[in-house]
Amino acid sequence: MITRSVLIACLSIGGCAPAHAGDMQTKPVMCGSEDETFSTLRTFKQQKIYQATQLTTVKEPDGFSDTPVLLPMAIYMNLDEGTYTVVEYHPSYGAYCLISFGREGKFVND
């Protein structure tokens, strides 16, 4: 887990080099159009609470790219129900991908 001080240090120097301590894994990720994605978010009454630009490793024909791409991401939540969804947007494909979704979301103190 990245501590707050490490995160601040990384952001202040313009980024962090990836640690090569593990293997790249793949998992099923749902992607869809803008209409499909935001219709689903409206169904769960989730609203955007956070957005950022993420460094994303993407697949290429011969494996994973060595150079990450910058993609917009956002976290949506229904604060009353505790449901959440993490969405990344791929502008070159016009696709929104649901990276994570679940329940029992809550804010924690530092």
Token pair of 87, please?
A: 């969405």
| Each residue's pLDDT expressed in tens, for the chain with a length of 110 residues | 444 444 444 444 444 555 556 666 667 788 999 999 999 999 999 999 999 999 988 777 888 888 888 999 999 999 999 999 999 999 988 999 999 999 998 888 75
Residues in the chain: 110
Q: How far apart are CA 99 and CA 29, in angstroms?
A: 6
Under a CB-based contact definition with an 8 Å cutoff, are residues 84 and 102 in contact? yes
Instruction: Please state, in angstroms and rounded to a whole number, the distance separating the CA atoms of residues 83 and 96.
Output: 18
The pLDDT score that the predictor gives to residue 74 is 97
Q: Supply the DSSP symbol for 6.
A: H
Going by their DSSP bridges, the two strands 69-78 and 47-56 should be labelled as: antiparallel
pLDDT at 43: 93
Q: What is the pLDDT of residue 5?
A: 46
Whole-model pTM: value is 0.71
Paired with 71 in beta bridges are: 54
Q: Give yes or no for a contact between 95 and 32, defined as CB atoms under 8 angstroms apart.
A: yes
Q: Which element (helix H / strand E) includes 76?
A: strand 69-78
